Structure 1
């Protein structure tokens, strides 16, 4: 079996991690050393028709919280300043953007969603020219592996006191015995009207 293929147990775990039902998960792009999901790859068009550009979605509460704390420190501002001053870093960030788009196309083909013109050329996290979401960059870095998303790699290194890929932090991060959420209150649940 393909380890990226989401099982019903994976989808239940993601729902518990997020506190809402898992939505249009095509792959588990990264897993904890224990096997639990860290990153879900979401179809570029949700089942209700809404375009969804965030292909790689962090699901693990410990990692998500660590990245949120990092965002609060002004790290994105410093990264944006470095992008403006360092052409090599900017080129690597643009290359990460291109990789993200190629991966979204692959995920979309696997999901059978076809082209999603509303988000064509749009990746996530502020790519290709800036940084506006470290969660998106970290998710991409975990899905792609080291060296593809340099600022995502930096994000993961910066949260190493709280989370690292070689250490399980799942115990106590969510309640595996809780009822799996069935009601989604997110803005992405409404239907696309055309």
Structure 2
């Protein structure tokens, strides 16, 4: 069975935007790429411009859109999983270094997405990634979105979170609503 992977052809179609709108329950905004797709082809993660069209700086370049994944990650956040992860960053030098590398990767990807969108530099968020990187865990959704977009081995805590939700959602199976593709 094929697993969801970072999207090698991140072109955004109108169908993608329609699906994302159904997933989020609102219109998609400032989507530059589909950063990861389900095995069925539906978007899982969008890459959003680092400055929204209304001028607002937007540090969350990899935005998790799939409601099944989002709900599973929300349950972990409600249980306080971020706190133990944050503690481990301060206690485990190797994990801290891997997490710092994930932060740097995230910043590089934001620059790339900004250039692709014609945005350029966004000084208000320069050096700030998302999700609490590199020193704490603030938002598991961001870390999972980054892991799905970048692929395994880039964001250790995003990868770990994907493992923690494997009973609810996994990269090798579809949990999409067929109505997303057919509804107006």
Q: Say whether residues 1:88 and 2:94 are aligned partners.
A: yes
* TM-score, length of structure 2 as denominator length: 0.93
Q: Say whether residues 1:98 and 2:104 are aligned partners.
A: yes
What is the CA–CA distance in structure 1 between the aligned matches of 2:36 and 2:150, rounded to whole Å? 9
Alignment length, in residue pairs? 177
What is the CA–CA distance in structure 2 between the aligned matches of 1:146 and 1:60, rounded to whole Å? 18
Equivalent residue of 2:27, what SS?
A: coil
User: 5+ residue gaps in structure 2?
Assistant: 1-7
CA positional deviation for 1:44: 0.3
CA positional deviation for 1:62: 0.4
What is the CA–CA distance in structure 2 between the aligned matches of 1:105 and 1:115, rounded to whole Å? 7
What is the CA–CA distance in structure 2 between the aligned matches of 1:171 and 1:110, rounded to whole Å? 30
Match of 2:55 among 35, 49, 54: 49
Q: Which residue of 2 aligns with 1:171?
A: 177
Q: Which residue of 2 aligns with 1:161?
A: 167
What is the CA–CA distance in structure 2 between the aligned matches of 1:160 and 1:60, rounded to whole Å? 14
Match of 1:108 among 85, 104, 114: 114
Within-5 A mapping of 1:62-141: 62-141=68-147
User: 5+ residue gaps in structure 1?
Assistant: 180-194
Is the Cα–Cα contact under 8 Å of residues 18 and 180 in structure 2 kept in the other structure?
Answer: no
What is the CA–CA distance in structure 2 between the aligned matches of 1:6 and 1:178, rounded to whole Å? 18
* TM-score, length of structure 1 as denominator length: 0.88
